[in-house]
Amino acid sequence: MDFFAGKVALITGAGSGIGEAIASALADRRATVVIADINGEAAERAAYELLAKGADAESAVVDVSNESSVQTLVNRVYSDHGHLDLMINNAGIHIGGVALSTSSEDWRRLMEINYWGVVHGIRAAATIMKQQSDGHIVNISSLAGITPTPTQTIYAASKWAVTGLSLSLRPELAADGIRLTTICPGAIRTKLFEHGYVVDVTDNNRLERLARWMFPADRAANRILRAIRYNRAIAVFPAHAKILYGLFRLGQWILVPYYWFLRRLMQQNES
């Protein structure tokens, strides 16, 4: 029997991208998946496609930046199913470009969704999982959350916060039988850039060209499930992410060419 069979998984930001791919991979393994997204139509579509294949799936609307919204949903899932085995805090947005050209509102919005959304998910799920003495929380960070990422500074700030929170919290939760895994993927082919925006980009076609070599979301989902299965503290993938992370740990000066590449990719407008 598959490790995930019969488990109840709540996935935020699952109306598209990595979240939807994770939901699909879990459904294939006979888990019950709750597809939560601020976009109710996207969540319903994703759930309907899984239901059409005979999976056990349902949709829900949630605003992860709102603590009450997250708490209400987690409580409902637990009440409906009697247990909550996986809480996957995936919802996030992207705002990139030149840091000093971004507004205070950009910084605030990123933190409210990318960081506080994870905090709200952890607090709501951990309360239930502590009662169960079992459960697994998965926080989706980023390669930008473990390496310096010029031109993605405020996005990186939110993801470094998630990584630091997650790695520090893991041993605390372990005492209550709760596992926690941090996922730090590199460039994944999703609609993240479409849902966010980039400040001071000269050539938007560069991002489209960049997408051609990004890692497929379905393969990323399989890597994430493997990390959950083996209770890994942190998972970094694919190969380019592992290489960049390894080089950063050797010394930042080694990544100077990479920083130059990012700067060229996100050139500041000249006026």
Element of type H or E holding 132: helix 116-132
Give kind and range of the element (H or E) at residue 2.
Answer: none
Question: What DSSP character marks residue 178?
Answer: E
**Choosing from 78, 115, 155, 258, which is the catalytic residue?**
155
Long-range contacts, stretch 243-250, CB < 8 angstroms, 24+ apart: 244/143, 244/147, 244/186, 245/143, 245/146, 245/147, 245/184, 248/146, 248/147, 248/148
Buried b vs exposed e over 138-160: b needs ≥16 C-beta within 10 Å? bbbbbbbbbbbbbbbbbbbbbbb
CA 261 to chain CA centroid, Å, is 25
Tokens representing residue 173 in the block: 């939760």
Give the total residue count for the chain.
271
d(CA 22, CA 87): 12
Q: Which of 33, 37, 28 is nearest to 7 (CA)?
A: 33
Q: Is 155 a catalytic residue?
A: yes
Q: Which amino acid is at 92?
A: G
- Which sign does the torsion angle of CA 77, 60, 112, 154 carry? positive
> What does each C-alpha distance from 57 to 13, 61, 148, 154, 222 come to in angstroms?
15, 14, 38, 34, 18
Q: Which residues are catalytic?
A: 155
